[in-house]
Amino acid sequence: MSDPTAPIWDLIRGVWRFSALNAFVCLEVPQALKDGPRTVPELAERCAAQPAMLARILRAAAGIGLLRSVSPGTYELTETGAVLLPDHPRSLHPGVFTTASPPLMYALMTLTETVRTGRQAFADRYGAMYQLLSEDKELAGHFDAFMDARSRPFAQALARHYDFSGARTIVDVGGGKGHILATILRAHQHLRGVVVELEHTAPTARAYLAGRGVGDRAGVITGDFFASVPIEADLYLLSNIIHNWDDLEATKIIQNLLAAMPEGARILFVDMVLPDDDSPHMGKELDMRMLGIFGSGRERSLSEYTALLRGAGLEITEVTELALSTSVIETVRGA
């Protein structure tokens, strides 16, 4: 018979493991090992750490697969540990910093208060999430880099698996600096694209699209999707947008798209689509962060998404899983 305490112990141990991971990154151990194996004393000198204490962090890091011993007291990075290098093409270095940041940890640790009172303990202390990011440039940099790293696998899957052949123009609504649009345009040379973003983000988006070699086929329009989406296109993309808002606000965004979209156009929603049963899903776990930080924002199940979109005037035509538990939901205007 399985031990009913085992899942709880694993969750408790997960906190301990994350503390080792955070120290491993903050002490810059991956950078110290980038060029090859080093001894504990060598690492302690490079990381400005106490050798005996650092040895315990390294032992734990090896136990969770970030390091391997090449000889007693000498370590090298594993393939998993290497993704914690800031310049790794799939780096999760900013993901660790973002997750461990005091404001975001506070949001998770005060879920009880939030759920009991209905008030965001996070918002009461730090204000709205995007207000915090506008004030804390270091956290904003880590957060943006983490979102970029998180979106890269499903952006590539979307560009690879979705049929863009019938479209000529795609509008990425709230597309940030345009990383998803750039991925799609690089894979589909016949497409032109536009990012719709707030004014302060527009210069970064223009520079990014140009740097990715698609500036001649991509533009940036400033706008607020709660006011209007001022452009016609064959295809509209909302990636990780709807999950930030409650049903009323999400419906407003969708209806603004409907007001702009011509006959035959489609809207793609890229989000996590949770199972309606009790099966585990990354989105159910991410929803705890949404609850702690945004409150009204939420991850939705397929039935919840279907009801939301139908109520806003859309019908789902296809749902395709992409990567990292994220799916693309294709929709058309409802009858």
User: Which residues are known catalytic residues?
Assistant: 243
Q: 308 near 284, Cβ under 8 Å?
A: no
Among candidates 300, 324, 322, which has minimal Cα distance to 312? 300
**Cα 85 to Cα 80, 90, 115, 140, 149, distances in angstroms:** 10, 9, 37, 19, 13
Beta-bridged to residue 38, according to DSSP, are 75
The two tokens of residue 66 are 């970030």
Task: Compute the distance between CA of residue 75 and CA of residue 166 in angstroms, rounded to an integer.
Answer: 53
Helix (H, G, I), strand (E, B) or coil at 42: helix
CA atoms within 13 Å, Cβ hemisphere of 17: 11
Among candidates 67, 63, 74, which has minimal Cα distance to 38? 74
Q: What share of the chain is helix, strand, coil (3-state, %, to 5)?
A: 50, 20, 30
**Cα 149 to Cα 3, 58, 116, 156, 247, distances in angstroms:** 36, 25, 34, 11, 28
Residue in this structure with the two tokens 């204490």, named with its chain if needed = 53
Contact partners, residue 320, CB within 8 Å, separation at least 6:
161, 162, 327, 328, 330
The two tokens of residue 313 are 């005037």
Judged on CB neighbours under 10 Å (0-12, 13-18, 19+), 301 is: middle
What DSSP character marks residue 243? G
Kindly give the pairing relationship between strand 326-333 and strand 38-39. unpaired
